[in-house]
Amino acid sequence: MDRVDRLLALVAELRAASPDPLDPAALAARLGVSERTVRRDVELLTHGGLPVRARRGRGYALPAPAAREPLSEVGSLMGPVHDTLAEAVRARRVVRLAYTDRAGARSFRDVEAHGLVVAPYGEYLVGWCRMRDGPRMFRLDRIGAAVLSGRGAEVRDLDDLLAALRVPVPRPAAGPRGPAGAAGAARARAWTLDRLEFVRSRLRDAAAQARGGGAGAAALRGVLGHLAEWTRWQAAAIRSAATGEEPVLEGRPPPFPPAFGRDLTYDARERMIQDAMALRSLGDLARDLRQVLEAVAHWAADCDDALWEGELPDPRPYGPPGPPRPLADLLAGWRGPLAHIEWHLDRLTDEPPLPPAGREEDVWVVDRCPLQA
């Protein structure tokens, strides 16, 4: 269990027992760690703002959540818009919005509130718009005001709500493609470019924090070498699937032995990648990956709209291609190169993994990678 999962499990245990305390020994046994690790994790959570209380001789406890007063219609007009929307979702209520779209046009919508979604590019209310009679997502910073109504939200088909959640992959319109197809392509392209910029900013931050050297820099070097080569391959494979052209490897791939092009296991290929990348500095690895992502961004910004409207084969590093998926999903969705980068960045902690015994300090096989699946 990695550190983030362990903290989540610890909070889950404390919430389940709240307001009763849990003994550190019992928590340690449930989490499979030492009591010292439990005490350190509780201290970290407390410094982060979680109201964990230490009861002398009894253990740790979270206070029982305070009972919430139902938000009245008048109260919903006076408080923050976010609170009104959260109450609408919790109570399954219809909420009336004053909404301004991207073009600046204001409208008033009755919306069945079903969820709030936080994304790197904004926060959205997901619901069923009664004016448009369909699922919609409303960006919170474009909602000027919101008021609760006395009407309850209906139970909607899950597929319709998922269609609303998958903003970059709208359902194709029936019949010949018209303006709706072009609008969907523009939206999918914009979402993908937003995700690209967000991931690039995370990489910049990670490199800046590791410039002082030490174990954190060594771990980041190993991960960046892995990411530069695999992102290079994924981006080339997706672009080739979209255009039918031969794959083009962007960035600055290092020289590999002839065996690198053969059918290798993941571990064997990864070891070759780490050996080839070991001679590069942290800055060189970051620049290589940045160049690959910049090439993806330029291509995504300029490629044909039709590529964003259909589905493409999902190239996999091992085994046959996966089920067809939209281009935005291939680039920025789960199993895509951007999600792959974020997966590894999320697992870089202040306690980086140690390299295998007997090898160079900065060289190890990156394990538990989703590309192995």
Residue-wise pLDDT for 350-370, tens only, equals 344 444 444 333 333 455 576
Cα 8–chain centre separation = 17
Confidence of residue 75 (pLDDT cuts 50, 70, 90): confident
Task: Collect all residues with Cβ–Cβ distance below 8 Å to 92 and sequence separation of at least 6.
Answer: 112, 113, 152, 153
Q: How many helices (H) and strands (E) does the chain have?
A: 13, 9
Which of 102 and 149 is assigned the larger pLDDT?
149
Percent of the chain at pLDDT above 70? 82
Task: Collect all residues with Cβ–Cβ distance below 8 Å to 4 and sequence separation of at least 6.
Answer: 346, 347, 349
Of the segments 11-25, 156-170, 229-243, which one has the largest average pLDDT value?
Answer: 229-243
Confidence of residue 168 (pLDDT cuts 50, 70, 90): very low
The DSSP secondary structure of 265-289, one letter per residue, reads: -HHHHHHHHHHHHTTS-HHHHHHHH
Check residue 111 and give its pLDDT: 92
Strand segments, DSSP code E, in 120-235 are: 122-129, 134-139, 143-152
Confidence of residue 239 (pLDDT cuts 50, 70, 90): very high
300-354 confidence digits (pLDDT tens): 988 888 899 888 988 887 777 888 889 998 998 877 899 888 888 877 753 444 4
Q: What is the mean pLDDT of the chain?
A: 79
Task: Collect all residues with Cβ–Cβ distance below 8 Å to 46 and sequence separation of at least 6.
Answer: 52
Average pLDDT over residues 221-247: 91
CB-count burial class (<10 Å; 0-12, 13-18, 19+) for 335: middle
Check residue 290 and give its pLDDT: 93
In this structure, are residues 366 and 273 in contact, taking their beta carbons and an 8 Å threshold? no
30-69 confidence digits (pLDDT tens): 888 898 988 888 888 888 788 888 877 778 888 887 766 7
Q: Is the pLDDT of residue 214 over 70?
A: no
Q: Which of 138-152, 209-223, 335-349 has the lowest mean pLDDT?
A: 209-223
Q: Which of 37-46, 156-165, 209-218, 356-365 has the lowest mean pLDDT?
A: 356-365
For residues 171 and 309, give the distance between their C-alpha atoms in angstroms, rounded to a whole number.
9
Whether pTM exceeds 0.75: no
How do 322-326 and 53-55 pair as beta strands?
A: unpaired
In this structure, are residues 188 and 326 in contact, taking their beta carbons and an 8 Å threshold? yes
Q: Is the pLDDT of residue 113 over 70?
A: yes
Domains of the chain: 3-61 (1.10.10.10), 73-165 (2.30.30.520), 190-372 (1.20.120)
Average pLDDT over residues 271-286: 89
Which of 98 and 183 is assigned the larger pLDDT?
98
Average pLDDT over residues 117-140: 79
Element (H, E) at 60: strand 59-61
Q: Is the pLDDT of residue 148 over 70?
A: yes
Describe the crossing of helices 215-243 and 282-302 by its angle, rounded to 10 degrees: 30
Tally the residues of the chain.
Answer: 373
Average pLDDT over residues 137-153: 87
Check residue 212 and give its pLDDT: 58
Q: Is the pLDDT of residue 27 over 80?
A: yes
Check residue 238 and give its pLDDT: 94
Check residue 355 and give its pLDDT: 41
Confidence of residue 165 (pLDDT cuts 50, 70, 90): low
Check residue 150 and give its pLDDT: 79
Structure tokens at 7: 């903290």
Q: Is the pLDDT of residue 221 over 80?
A: yes
Element (H, E) at 161: helix 158-165
Check residue 162 and give its pLDDT: 58
Average pLDDT over residues 279-286: 89
